[in-house]
Structure 1
Amino acid sequence: MKRDSRLSGVLHVLLHMAEIDGPATSEMMARAMQTNPVVIRRILAGLRDAGFVRSEKGHGGGWTIARDLASITLRDVYAALGSPELFALGNRTEAPGCLVEQAVNAALDDAFRDAEAMLLDRFGAVTLAQLSADFHARMVASGQSIDLEIVHAA
């Protein structure tokens, strides 16, 4: 089963955007993320609707962060993506009248609910500013410079 990596990808794009002076083009971000510019525009359009980014058309245009990184949490971005399913696991539902299946599903439902609540709480406690600070600390420790093309060449 393929994993949904949209949250990770969009956080990645946002952190790169925060490092660029001026607007970032969809083409620039697509090269860095090894995807199509249309994919970047589709993702960023949802974030624009949520007020996290803005776009300018024309020469010198592109995408910029619209809010302070400290005011955007992982949970905010997750919600802007449409709150995709967090877990690939689910309940068996082939025999809804089976008492064993009902007992198993009730226990799993409780566990899934608890795990989802814990994960969403953690997402709400982490800001883009914290991710950016971690990124900067890693760059300093690695001795690398902050260059979008070089960072993604490795």
Structure 2
Amino acid sequence: MKRDSKLSSVLHVLLHMAHSDRPLASEELAGFLQSHAVVVRRTLAGLRELGYVRSGKGHGGGWTLACDLQAVTLRDIYEAVGSPALFAIGHRAEHPQCLVEQAVNEALDDAMQQAERLLVDRLGQVTLADLSADFNRRAAAHPRKRNIHAI
């Protein structure tokens, strides 16, 4: 099953914006993700409506951050992109007649709900500023410091 990388992708472009001294065009952000500019614009439009980013049109326009990195958590962004499914595990049948399968489903549901709560809680403890600081540490230690995307 293909993994949902939307949260990772959005965090990636947000950090590029955080470390840019100018607005970044959708095409440029799409290049960082090896994606398409339309996908980037569609995704960032939702974040713009929530006040996390802003966009400018025309020459010199592009996407910039509109939020405080210290105040925004990974959970905020996770919820902003629609709270994608965290796990790919599912039931063989949603409403089984078999009592064994009912027991299996209940055990899986309980474990998955606990794991999801734990993960979402952890996302709420990490801010965009934490990610930015981690990137800064990595970049400072890396021998090729010029192109932050190639590092």
TM-score bracket, normalised by the shorter chain, equals over 0.9
SS of alignment partner, residue 70 of structure 1:
coil
Structure 2 alignment gaps of length 5 or more: none
Structure 1 residues 94 and 61: CA distance shift in structure 2, 3 A: closer
Structure 2 match to 1:7: 7
Q: Give the letter for the 1:40 counterpart.
A: V
8 A contact 1:26–1:41 mirrored in 2 = yes
Equivalent pairs counted in the alignment come to 151
Deviations 1:25-52 (A, max 9, x none): 1111112221111111111111111210
C-alpha change, 1:15 and 1:146, in structure 2 (3 Å) is farther
Superposition deviation, residue 94 in structure 1: 6.6
> Does 17-26 or 113-122 show the bigger shift?
17-26
The structure in which a higher percent of residues are helix is: 1
**TM-score (norm. length: structure 1):** 0.92
- The equivalences for 1:3-152 within 5 A come to 3-93=3-93, 96-148=96-148, 151-152=149-150
TM-score, reference length from structure 2? 0.94
Tell me the distance in 2 between the aligned counterparts of 1:45 and 1:147: 27
Specify whether residues 34 and 80 from structure 1 end up closer, same or farther in structure 2 by C-alpha distance, changes over 3 A only.
same
The alignment partner of 1:45 has SS state of helix
Deviation at 1:77? 0.5
Deviations 1:94-147 (A, max 9, x none): 761111011111111100000000000000000010000000100111133252
Sequence identity percentage: 61
Secondary structure, counterpart of 1:122 in structure 2: helix
Stretch of structure 1 that moved more, 18-27 or 89-98: 89-98
Which runs of structure 1 show a deviation greater than 4 angstroms over 4 or more consecutive aligned residues? none
Root mean square deviation of aligned Cα: 1.4
Q: Which moved more, 1:86-95 or 1:49-58?
A: 86-95
**Compared with structure 1, are the counterparts of its residues 97 and 50 closer, same or farther at alpha carbon in structure 2 (3 Å cutoff)?**
same
SS in 2 for 1:90: coil
